[in-house]
Structure 1
């Protein structure tokens, strides 16, 4: 191993990396700091006191905006989209392991929405609902619009996962007398569970933060991204920053829970494998 002084290129690349990280997280850090201002605080520096006033104010009745309601709607919608994305992607992954008539056409139709501008999909679904005489709503039309965004990602992930899946595990389970359902439940799902958690994480975060596909499909009641957008021209207090801090915290919490779940599953699998080896 060679030891030597780091040259100018190292420090230049290090400085560029620090600037890149600052560019990514600087705005979020600024919002986080300003959200803890005192009751008489404004929207810019310098801060006027430090308190949790604006977080308490966030869930009180506002002159403009419905923070609590929009957050609740986005969470419910995100969880629903997550569940459907996981189930549909897993089922499609199982189905596409065997070629069938029209599989290529069905695949390209499933992922076509990735190349269509999101605003056009939102507009098209909103217009379709109005033509049919239905009222667009966050739990119906927006739910379908979000699935056009999350399902293609889920499908691509599961196709890649199943492409590397060793089917000898299934054959061994069937040789031991397991039915097809028992094989999926006790063999396939446990092995692919970390990947399913990843698909669920994609589904939730993509839905939770989605703006364009909600614009014409959310109906009367806004989801959280729409509420934040509408409030940027009306709210002149740090309560908007408090909302940004809370939504960022929710995203970080979801990611942390997913990583902890994957870590726990891997340790559990390793421990069971070690116990099985000792028993043998």
Structure 2
């Protein structure tokens, strides 16, 4: 072992130092925010650390001015769950469909993946404009039909589970689709053929053969869907309407809140992301172990 250490070149240590600097640059800011969020009542936004307590988490629970953090948190969780479910559903269905030769399949694939290279704010503006045009059309139709009471009560089609959901799916679906392509690219169809030879229907073959084999990957897609939606700002900003998700509220608070309570909010959102990732990894590991035992 000592000989191996002596034989390591200067290039190895240079790359090791570069990697350490990269990791520090990547996770250092998050660590700083977590540390500063546990300051005492006299704490500020910078070091040195003044005391150690949960004071600013208590202030966060009380609310930050006129911002309802609890409502924003619930909206983000609900939107993230919806995005996760739809990302998993559409990705699996698309992965199954693309296993066969599809007319126009290549064009459809590039159209879906193109949203990854489009500037996020442009996608958000386009979706917001699209739904405002829908609003104008619906209002014109209601007015033409003489439905004045419905017209007066109508607000906007922009919302959490309409335009914002669509905006987030333009970000999460390409990732889910690419994962499913990779999964089915190395999937052995002999398992399905054996199931058909034993009399299984297409649905039974999918339910009892394909689904258990791809389940760990589906969990990964779900994790991607939730975490990408949970942190999204640019694609949400112009497409959500009158309400805000937690990341948008957090962005707005950075210009008005001057206490470590903003760091406490950042710590809470980070912990939720890490919990979702840990749950997904644990579930994928359990499914893999169950698959190996089977």
CA distance in 2, matches of 1:7, 1:88: 49
Q: Which runs of 4+ in 1 moved over 6 A?
A: none
Partner of 1:132, secondary structure, is: helix
**Aligned residues of 1:82 and 1:203 also touching (Cα < 8 A):** yes
Partner of 2:115, secondary structure, is: helix
In structure 2, the residue matched to 1:42 is: 44
Q: Give the total of aligned pairs.
A: 272
**Aligned residues of 2:212 and 2:291 also touching (Cα < 8 A):** no
* TM-score for the superposition, normalised by structure 2: 0.88
Shift of residue 270, structure 1, vs aligned partner: 2.2
**Aligned residues of 1:64 and 1:235 also touching (Cα < 8 A):** no
Partner of residue 281 from structure 2, selected from 259, 263, 277: 259
* 1:3 and 2:13 are equivalent in the alignment: no
Partner of residue 182 from structure 1, selected from 198, 204, 224: 204
Partner of residue 98 from structure 2, selected from 96, 99, 102: 96
Counterparts of residues 221-232 of structure 1 (less than 5 Å): 221-232=243-254
CA distance in 2, matches of 1:245, 1:43: 14
Partner of 1:219, secondary structure, is: coil
In structure 2, the residue matched to 1:78 is: 80
Partner of 1:59, secondary structure, is: helix
* 1:191 and 2:213 are equivalent in the alignment: yes
Moved more, 54-63 or 174-183: 54-63
In structure 2, the residue matched to 1:129 is: 131
Counterparts of residues 1-280 of structure 1 (less than 5 Å): 3=4, 5=6, 6-133=8-135, 134-272=156-294
CA distance in 2, matches of 1:23, 1:61: 31
Specify every segment of 5 or more residues in structure 1 that has no aligned partner in the other structure, as ranges. Answer: 273-280
CA distance in 1, matches of 2:25, 2:237: 28
CA distance in 2, matches of 1:271, 1:125: 47
* TM-score for the superposition, normalised by structure 1: 0.92
